[in-house]
Protein backbone atom coordinates (compact mmCIF):
# COMPACT_ATOMS: atom_id res chain seq x y z
CA UNK A 1 0.00 0.00 0.00
CA UNK A 2 1.28 3.48 -0.80
CA UNK A 3 1.86 5.52 2.32
CA UNK A 4 2.42 9.22 2.82
CA UNK A 5 6.10 8.45 2.39
CA UNK A 6 5.61 6.72 -0.94
CA UNK A 7 8.08 7.85 -3.62
CA UNK A 8 5.32 9.48 -5.65
CA UNK A 9 3.51 11.29 -2.85
CA UNK A 10 5.52 14.53 -2.87
CA UNK A 11 5.39 14.65 -6.66
CA UNK A 12 1.62 14.15 -6.71
CA UNK A 13 1.22 17.05 -4.27
CA UNK A 14 3.65 19.28 -6.16
CA UNK A 15 1.87 18.62 -9.45
CA UNK A 16 -1.42 19.60 -7.84
CA UNK A 17 0.00 22.89 -6.61
CA UNK A 18 1.48 23.70 -10.02
CA UNK A 19 -1.71 22.86 -11.91
CA UNK A 20 -3.84 24.74 -9.37
CA UNK A 21 -1.83 27.87 -10.18
CA UNK A 22 -2.01 27.27 -13.92
CA UNK A 23 -5.69 26.42 -14.53
CA UNK A 24 -9.06 27.94 -13.69
CA UNK A 25 -11.34 25.41 -12.01
CA UNK A 26 -14.37 27.60 -12.68
CA UNK A 27 -13.93 26.85 -16.38
CA UNK A 28 -14.40 23.11 -15.74
CA UNK A 29 -17.77 21.85 -16.96
CA UNK A 30 -18.49 20.07 -13.67
CA UNK A 31 -17.32 22.85 -11.35
CA UNK A 32 -19.94 23.84 -8.74
CA UNK A 33 -20.58 27.05 -10.67
CA UNK A 34 -21.40 25.21 -13.91
CA UNK A 35 -22.93 21.88 -12.91
CA UNK A 36 -26.73 22.12 -12.99
CA UNK A 37 -27.84 18.75 -11.63
CA UNK A 38 -26.26 15.40 -10.64
CA UNK A 39 -27.94 13.58 -13.52
CA UNK A 40 -26.08 15.89 -15.91
CA UNK A 41 -22.88 14.13 -14.81
CA UNK A 42 -24.35 10.73 -15.62
CA UNK A 43 -25.60 11.87 -19.00
CA UNK A 44 -22.39 13.70 -19.76
CA UNK A 45 -20.20 10.79 -18.68
CA UNK A 46 -21.99 8.54 -21.18
CA UNK A 47 -22.17 11.10 -23.98
CA UNK A 48 -18.51 12.14 -23.80
CA UNK A 49 -17.32 8.59 -24.56
CA UNK A 50 -15.28 8.71 -27.79
CA UNK A 51 -16.01 12.37 -28.50
CA UNK A 52 -15.20 15.86 -27.24
CA UNK A 53 -16.87 17.53 -24.30
CA UNK A 54 -18.20 20.21 -26.68
CA UNK A 55 -20.16 17.57 -28.59
CA UNK A 56 -21.34 15.90 -25.39
CA UNK A 57 -22.52 19.26 -24.08
CA UNK A 58 -24.49 19.94 -27.26
CA UNK A 59 -26.17 16.54 -26.87
CA UNK A 60 -26.94 17.34 -23.22
CA UNK A 61 -28.48 20.62 -24.33
CA UNK A 62 -30.65 18.69 -26.78
CA UNK A 63 -31.85 16.34 -24.07
CA UNK A 64 -32.48 19.24 -21.70
CA UNK A 65 -34.46 21.19 -24.30
CA UNK A 66 -36.63 18.10 -24.88
CA UNK A 67 -37.24 17.71 -21.13
CA UNK A 68 -35.40 14.37 -21.20
CA UNK A 69 -32.42 15.05 -18.94
CA UNK A 70 -33.58 13.06 -15.96
CA UNK A 71 -33.87 9.35 -15.35
CA UNK A 72 -37.66 9.12 -15.36
CA UNK A 73 -38.12 11.00 -18.63
CA UNK A 74 -35.22 9.27 -20.32
CA UNK A 75 -36.33 5.78 -19.31
CA UNK A 76 -39.76 6.47 -20.82
CA UNK A 77 -38.45 7.53 -24.23
CA UNK A 78 -37.90 5.11 -27.13
CA UNK A 79 -34.24 4.58 -28.03
CA UNK A 80 -34.81 6.00 -31.50
CA UNK A 81 -36.03 9.29 -30.01
CA UNK A 82 -33.03 9.49 -27.67
CA UNK A 83 -30.69 8.68 -30.54
CA UNK A 84 -32.10 11.59 -32.49
CA UNK A 85 -31.52 13.93 -29.57
CA UNK A 86 -27.89 12.88 -28.97
CA UNK A 87 -26.80 12.38 -32.58
CA UNK A 88 -24.34 15.26 -32.36
CA UNK A 89 -22.20 13.30 -29.85
CA UNK A 90 -21.62 10.41 -32.30
CA UNK A 91 -22.59 6.71 -32.17
CA UNK A 92 -26.15 7.77 -31.30
CA UNK A 93 -27.63 4.27 -31.29
CA UNK A 94 -25.05 3.00 -28.82
CA UNK A 95 -25.32 6.05 -26.59
CA UNK A 96 -29.11 6.05 -26.67
CA UNK A 97 -29.13 2.41 -25.56
CA UNK A 98 -26.69 3.20 -22.76
CA UNK A 99 -28.52 6.30 -21.60
CA UNK A 100 -31.85 4.53 -21.55
CA UNK A 101 -30.40 1.52 -19.74
CA UNK A 102 -28.74 3.72 -17.12
CA UNK A 103 -31.90 5.76 -16.65
CA UNK A 104 -33.96 2.59 -16.24
CA UNK A 105 -31.46 1.23 -13.71
CA UNK A 106 -31.63 4.48 -11.74
CA UNK A 107 -35.43 4.26 -11.73
CA UNK A 108 -35.35 0.61 -10.62
CA UNK A 109 -33.11 1.66 -7.73
CA UNK A 110 -35.78 4.11 -6.62
CA UNK A 111 -34.38 7.23 -8.27
CA UNK A 112 -31.11 9.08 -8.00
CA UNK A 113 -31.62 9.99 -4.33
CA UNK A 114 -32.08 6.36 -3.31
CA UNK A 115 -29.18 5.22 -5.49
CA UNK A 116 -26.83 7.84 -4.06
CA UNK A 117 -27.80 6.87 -0.52
CA UNK A 118 -25.89 3.61 -0.97
CA UNK A 119 -22.44 3.24 0.63
CA UNK A 120 -19.61 3.97 -1.79
CA UNK A 121 -18.68 0.34 -2.51
CA UNK A 122 -22.28 -0.69 -3.15
CA UNK A 123 -22.91 2.41 -5.26
CA UNK A 124 -19.82 1.75 -7.37
CA UNK A 125 -20.94 -1.86 -7.87
CA UNK A 126 -24.44 -0.69 -8.84
CA UNK A 127 -23.00 1.76 -11.38
CA UNK A 128 -20.65 -0.84 -12.85
CA UNK A 129 -23.61 -3.21 -13.28
CA UNK A 130 -25.29 -0.67 -15.57
CA UNK A 131 -24.95 -1.10 -19.32
CA UNK A 132 -22.15 1.05 -20.73
CA UNK A 133 -20.67 2.13 -17.39
CA UNK A 134 -17.01 1.17 -16.92
CA UNK A 135 -14.65 2.00 -14.05
CA UNK A 136 -13.73 5.50 -15.29
CA UNK A 137 -17.33 6.51 -15.93
CA UNK A 138 -18.44 5.05 -12.60
CA UNK A 139 -15.73 6.98 -10.77
CA UNK A 140 -16.61 10.22 -12.56
CA UNK A 141 -20.19 9.77 -11.37
CA UNK A 142 -19.07 8.87 -7.85
CA UNK A 143 -16.81 11.89 -7.60
CA UNK A 144 -18.76 14.66 -9.31
CA UNK A 145 -22.39 13.59 -8.93
CA UNK A 146 -22.41 11.58 -5.70
CA UNK A 147 -19.64 13.49 -3.91
CA UNK A 148 -17.59 10.44 -2.97
CA UNK A 149 -13.86 10.55 -2.33
CA UNK A 150 -12.92 8.45 -5.35
CA UNK A 151 -10.33 9.52 -7.91
CA UNK A 152 -10.87 8.92 -11.61
CA UNK A 153 -7.40 7.97 -12.81
CA UNK A 154 -8.22 8.19 -16.49
CA UNK A 155 -5.90 7.81 -19.46
CA UNK A 156 -4.87 11.48 -19.21
CA UNK A 157 -3.77 11.05 -15.59
CA UNK A 158 -1.89 7.84 -16.31
CA UNK A 159 -0.11 9.39 -19.29
CA UNK A 160 0.83 12.50 -17.31
CA UNK A 161 2.34 10.62 -14.40
CA UNK A 162 4.08 8.15 -16.67
CA UNK A 163 5.71 11.11 -18.42
CA UNK A 164 6.64 12.56 -15.06
CA UNK A 165 8.34 9.28 -14.25
CA UNK A 166 5.96 8.15 -11.50
CA UNK A 167 3.21 5.62 -11.00
CA UNK A 168 2.37 2.25 -9.49
CA UNK A 169 4.16 -1.01 -10.11
CA UNK A 170 0.98 -2.54 -11.52
CA UNK A 171 -0.40 -1.30 -14.81
CA UNK A 172 -4.16 -1.62 -14.40
CA UNK A 173 -6.74 1.00 -13.52
CA UNK A 174 -7.15 -0.28 -9.95
CA UNK A 175 -3.39 -0.12 -9.36
CA UNK A 176 -3.27 3.46 -10.59
CA UNK A 177 -6.23 4.46 -8.45
CA UNK A 178 -4.75 2.83 -5.36
CA UNK A 179 -1.42 4.56 -5.96
CA UNK A 180 -2.95 7.98 -6.57
CA UNK A 181 -5.43 7.94 -3.70
CA UNK A 182 -2.73 6.63 -1.38
CA UNK A 183 -0.46 9.52 -2.31
CA UNK A 184 -3.10 12.03 -1.18
CA UNK A 185 -4.47 10.63 2.09
CA UNK A 186 -5.58 14.05 3.33
CA UNK A 187 -7.27 15.27 0.14
CA UNK A 188 -11.03 15.72 0.33
CA UNK A 189 -13.68 15.30 -2.37
CA UNK A 190 -13.29 18.86 -3.62
CA UNK A 191 -9.52 18.47 -3.95
CA UNK A 192 -10.02 15.26 -5.95
CA UNK A 193 -12.53 17.04 -8.20
CA UNK A 194 -10.14 19.90 -8.81
CA UNK A 195 -7.17 17.63 -9.40
CA UNK A 196 -9.01 15.55 -11.98
CA UNK A 197 -10.26 18.70 -13.72
CA UNK A 198 -6.76 20.18 -13.83
CA UNK A 199 -5.30 17.00 -15.30
CA UNK A 200 -7.89 16.96 -18.10
CA UNK A 201 -7.33 20.66 -18.82
CA UNK A 202 -3.57 20.11 -18.86
CA UNK A 203 -3.90 17.08 -21.15
CA UNK A 204 -5.92 19.11 -23.63
CA UNK A 205 -3.85 22.28 -23.53
CA UNK A 206 -0.24 21.12 -23.18
CA UNK A 207 0.29 17.48 -22.24
CA UNK A 208 -1.33 16.19 -25.42
CA UNK A 209 -0.48 13.04 -27.35
CA UNK A 210 2.36 15.17 -28.73
CA UNK A 211 3.08 17.37 -25.72
CA UNK A 212 3.90 21.08 -25.80
CA UNK A 213 6.59 21.08 -23.14
CA UNK A 214 8.39 24.41 -23.26
CA UNK A 215 5.62 26.48 -21.59
CA UNK A 216 4.58 23.64 -19.26
CA UNK A 217 4.71 24.45 -15.52
CA UNK A 218 5.67 20.83 -14.85
CA UNK A 219 8.70 20.83 -17.14
CA UNK A 220 11.29 21.14 -14.33
CA UNK A 221 9.89 17.93 -12.78
CA UNK A 222 9.19 15.99 -15.95
CA UNK A 223 11.44 13.27 -17.33
CA UNK A 224 9.63 13.20 -20.67
CA UNK A 225 9.64 16.97 -20.92
CA UNK A 226 13.38 17.16 -20.25
CA UNK A 227 14.02 14.54 -22.90
CA UNK A 228 11.98 16.45 -25.44
CA UNK A 229 13.45 19.86 -24.62
CA UNK A 230 17.06 18.92 -23.98
CA UNK A 231 19.10 22.04 -24.55
CA UNK A 232 16.30 24.32 -23.32
CA UNK A 233 17.22 25.99 -19.98
CA UNK A 234 15.14 24.67 -17.04
CA UNK A 235 12.94 27.12 -15.12
CA UNK A 236 12.59 27.12 -11.34
CA UNK A 237 10.57 24.20 -9.96
CA UNK A 238 6.95 25.05 -9.10
S1 LIG B 1 6.75 18.80 -19.66
FE2 LIG B 1 5.69 18.02 -21.47
S3 LIG B 1 5.42 15.80 -21.13
FE4 LIG B 1 5.91 16.78 -19.16
S5 LIG B 1 3.93 17.23 -18.21
FE6 LIG B 1 4.55 19.05 -19.32
S7 LIG B 1 3.63 18.88 -21.37
FE8 LIG B 1 3.56 16.83 -20.39
Mind listing the pLDDT tens digit for each residue in 145-203?
A: 999 999 999 999 999 999 999 999 878 999 999 999 999 999 999 999 999 999 999 99
Which residue's CA is the nearest one to ligand 1's atom 4? 225
Residue 7: what pLDDT?
Answer: 58
Which residue's CA is the nearest one to ligand 1's atom 2? 213
206, 215, 228, 229, best to mutate for ligand 1 pocket (most atoms within 8 Å of CB): 206
24 Cα to the center of ligand 1, angstroms: 18
Domains of the chain by residue range:
9-24+153-226, 38-145
8 Cα to the center of ligand 1, angstroms: 17
Which among 193, 203, 206 has a CA at the least distance from the CA of 29?
193
* Residue 166, ligand 1, Cβ within 6 A: no
SS (H, E, C) 128-139: HCCCCCCHHHHH
pLDDT in tens, 63-81: 999 999 999 999 999 999 9
Atom index in ligand 1 nearest the CA of residue 224 equals: 3
User: Is domain 38-145 in CATH 3.90.1150.10, yes or no?
Assistant: no
pLDDT in tens, 8-34: 889 999 999 999 999 999 999 999 888
Question: 185, 32 in Cβ contact below 8 A?
Answer: no
* CA 42 – CA 50 distance, rounded (Å): 15
Residue 18: what pLDDT?
Answer: 97
Q: How many CA atoms lie within 13 A of 10 on its CB side?
A: 4
Residue, of 7 and 97, whose pLDDT is higher? 97
Q: Give the chain's mean pLDDT.
A: 92
Task: Kindly tell me if the per-residue pLDDT of 212 is higher than 50.
Answer: yes
Write down the CATH number for the domain with range 9-24+153-226: 1.10.1670.10
Instruction: Kindly report the pTM of this predicted structure.
Output: 0.90
Amino acid sequence: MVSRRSPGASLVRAVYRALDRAYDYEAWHWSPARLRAPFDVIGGAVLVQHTTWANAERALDGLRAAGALDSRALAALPEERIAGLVRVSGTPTVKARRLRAVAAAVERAGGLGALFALPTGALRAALLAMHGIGPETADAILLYAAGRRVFEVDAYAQRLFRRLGAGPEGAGYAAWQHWFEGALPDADVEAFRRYHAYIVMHAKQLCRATPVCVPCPLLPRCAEGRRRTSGVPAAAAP
